Amino acid sequence: MSHKAFLRARRPEHKQQRREAILDAARKLALESGVRTVSLGGVATAVGLVKSNLARYFATREEIFLELTTLEWRDWAHAVTTRLDAGDDVIDVLAETLAERPLFCDLMSQSATHLEHNVTIEAARSFKLGVLGVVADLGTAIARVDPKLTEAEARDLAAVASGLAGMLYPAANPPPVLAELYASDPVLAAACIPFVPTMKRALAAFAAGLPTLR
């Protein structure tokens, strides 16, 4: 797609298509090399747009990834709800659906430390409202199938699951240098934690403790 063709879009639906193209490009690049490595210029090149013109759609790189994070939250919630409705165990569902979503885990690992910086008030508000809405929906879905938890406790469980994923997934999926080190040293290999079992133990302990704090 040429720059000229890209910039001709003026109708609202065409601008939305451009935003979606930018998000799709950012998603693909992040899956290939990690969120941390994706630059604004790289996204612009992938969609055939001059970098300075990305501001027509997103003010900063971080705003692209914040919106992508909101979409990933919704995708995760849909997967969780689908499996809960099928009768699967809450802890298994939360841990396993997170393991299936490396991009979401990567985004969660950088959300508060990087992606929530260098954004406009409007983008931050939209992001926070979107996440709070998804967490509320997850709380309702979890409490519906787990009578031991109130909706508020179920919301806490969903929020903690996402936060733990952001911390544990990078440790469970180390970069090449650490992977080579772990492979050569069994003692140090203990630092490479198994993601799903660790998530399940931590979430089970948290869920069991919630009712005791009422």
For 89-124, write each residue's pLDDT tens digit: 999 999 999 999 999 999 999 998 999 999 999 999
Sign of the alpha-carbon torsion through 43, 48, 50, 53: negative
Q: Which amino acid is at 124?
A: A
Are 199 and 173 in contact by the 8 Å Cβ rule? The answer is: no
Q: How many other CB atoms are found less than 10 A from the CB of residue 153?
A: 21
Q: Which of 87, 89, 86, 85 is nearest to 207 (CA)?
A: 89
pLDDT for 9: 55
Domain ranges for the chain, please list them: 1-58, 61-213
Are 111 and 69 in contact by the 8 Å Cβ rule? The answer is: yes
Instruction: Give 1-58's CATH code, choosing from 1.10.10.60, 3.90.1010.10, 1.10.3720.10, 3.40.50.2300.
Output: 1.10.10.60
pLDDT for 10: 66
For 122-147, write each residue's pLDDT tens digit: 999 999 999 999 999 999 999 999 99
CATH class of 61-213: mainly alpha
Q: How far is CA 165 from CA 108, 188, 189, 199, 202, in A?
A: 7, 22, 20, 8, 11
Across the chain, mean pLDDT equals: 93
Judged against a pLDDT cut of 70, whether residue 75 lies above it is answered with: yes
pLDDT for 1: 41
Q: How many other CB atoms are found less than 10 A from the CB of residue 59?
A: 15
List Cβ neighbours of 207 (8 Å cut-off, separation of 6 or more): 90, 91, 146, 148, 149, 153, 157
For 10-56, write each residue's pLDDT tens digit: 667 778 899 999 999 999 999 999 999 999 999 999 999 888 888 88
